Amino acid sequence: MNDTPADLETAVKARFAALARNPAEEKRFPVGPDSAKRLGYPAAEIDSLAPAATEAFAGVGNPFSLGELRSGQTVLDLGCGAGMDSILAARRVGPTGKVIGLDMVEEMLAKARRNAETAGVSNADFRRGSADGLPVPAQSVDVIITNGVFNLCVDKPKVIAELVRVLRPGGRLQMADILLEPHVTPEELAGKGTWSD
Ligand SMILES: C[S@@+](CC[C@H](N)C(=O)[O-])C[C@H]1O[C@@H](n2cnc3c(N)ncnc32)[C@H](O)[C@@H]1O
C-alpha cells in the first residue's frame, strides 16, 4: 500500500529532526563542512563558522553560485535546516537586509537560531512553516535560496505557487536540488523510504 502525503511528511520530519539531534550519526547522505566544501562553498567561508553551524549542513549544491545577493535584499531560505545558508545570506545582505529561514522541523529551527546568535547574525528570522503554505506576505522577497528541499516536498505545484506568490516582481529563485533518475519506479516513488532514507 502506498504511503499517504501525511505519512511522507511525517517521515521527512522525523528524518531531519534526527539529523538535527545527532549529525554525526548520519550515514546515508553527505553532511557537514567537508560536504559543503566539496559542493563549492569557499573553504575560508565555511571555516569562519562555528562547527555547530556546519555539522548538520545537508545541502546538495551551492545556491549562492547561481547569483549574487546584494546589500539590503530580503532573502527567504526555504528549508533552512540548521541555518548555515541563512547565516551566509545574512552576512551578504548586511544590516539593511534580512533573511527569513523557514523550516518545518522545530529541532532544526532551534539549532539555526543558536547558530545565528553564535555567528553574531541579528538580521535573520527563523520561522516554522511548510513550503506549501509560507508564513510570508505576498511579493515581499527579493531572492529565494533553497538547498536540498524541493525534492522532499510532497505537493510540488503548491510549493511553486507559493514561491511565485512571495517573490517580488523581478525576484529570483536560486535552487540547488536533486533530480529523479529514470530507473526509479512509480512504486519506489510512492514509498516513504525513498523520501526519508
Ligand atoms: C536536506 S535538508 C537541507 C537543509 C538546509 N537547506 C541545508 O542545506 O543544510 C532539508 C530540510 O528541508 C526541510 N523541509 C523538508 N520539507 C519541507 C517542507 N515541506 N517545508 C519546510 N521545510 C521542509 C527539512 O526539515 C530539512 O531541514
Q: What's the 111 CA to ligand 1 centre distance in angstroms?
A: 13
Please report the pLDDT score of residue 50 as a whole number: 98
Q: Which fold has domain 5-196?
A: Rossmann fold (3.40.50)
**In sequence order, what are the residues at sequence separation of 6 or more whose Cβ sits closer than 8 angstroms to the Cβ of residue 156?**
150
Between CA 85 and CA 131 the distance in angstroms is 17
Closest CA to 58 of 7, 111, 95: 111
Closest CA to 110 of 36, 196, 17: 17
One-letter amino acid identity for 130? S
The residue whose CB lies within 8 Å of the most ligand 1 atoms, and thus the one to mutate among 152, 159, 163, 174, is: 152
Please report the pLDDT score of residue 193 as a whole number: 60
Residue 107, judged by CB atoms within 10 A of its CB (0-12, 13-18, 19+), counts as middle
Block residue for cell numbers 549529525: 23
- pLDDT score of 197 more than 60: no
Read off the pLDDT of residues 39-58 as tens digits, 9 standing for 90 and up.
999 999 999 999 999 999 99
Residue 49 DSSP one-character state: S
Please report the pLDDT score of residue 184 as a whole number: 79
Q: What's the 146 CA to ligand 1 centre distance in angstroms?
A: 8
Q: Are strands 124-128 and 167-176 parallel, antiparallel or unpaired?
A: unpaired
Read off the pLDDT of residues 64-112 as tens digits, 9 standing for 90 and up.
999 999 999 999 999 999 999 999 999 999 999 999 999 999 999 999 9
One-letter amino acid identity for 18? A
Read off the pLDDT of residues 120-173 as tens digits, 9 standing for 90 and up.
999 999 999 999 999 999 999 999 999 999 999 999 999 999 999 999 999 999
Q: Are strands 167-176 and 98-103 parallel, antiparallel or unpaired?
A: unpaired
- The number of helices, as runs of H, and strands, as runs of E, in the chain is 9, 5
Atom 10 of ligand 1, nearest CA residue = 149
Regarding the beta carbon of 53 and ligand 1, being less than 6 Å apart is answered no
Regarding the beta carbon of 58 and ligand 1, being less than 6 Å apart is answered yes
Element (H, E) at 167: strand 167-176
The residue whose CB lies within 8 Å of the most ligand 1 atoms, and thus the one to mutate among 8, 88, 103, 178, is: 103
Please report the pLDDT score of residue 98 as a whole number: 98
Total length of the chain: 197
Q: How far, CA to CA in Å, does 45 sit from each of 17, 83, 88, 133, 168?
A: 26, 14, 8, 32, 29
Please report the pLDDT score of residue 96 as a whole number: 98
Q: By three-state DSSP, how is residue 176 classified?
A: strand
Q: In the chain, what are the domain boundaries?
A: 5-196
- pLDDT score of 1 more than 80: no
Question: How much is the pTM?
Answer: 0.94
Regarding the beta carbon of 101 and ligand 1, being less than 6 Å apart is answered no
Q: What's the 77 CA to ligand 1 centre distance in angstroms?
A: 10
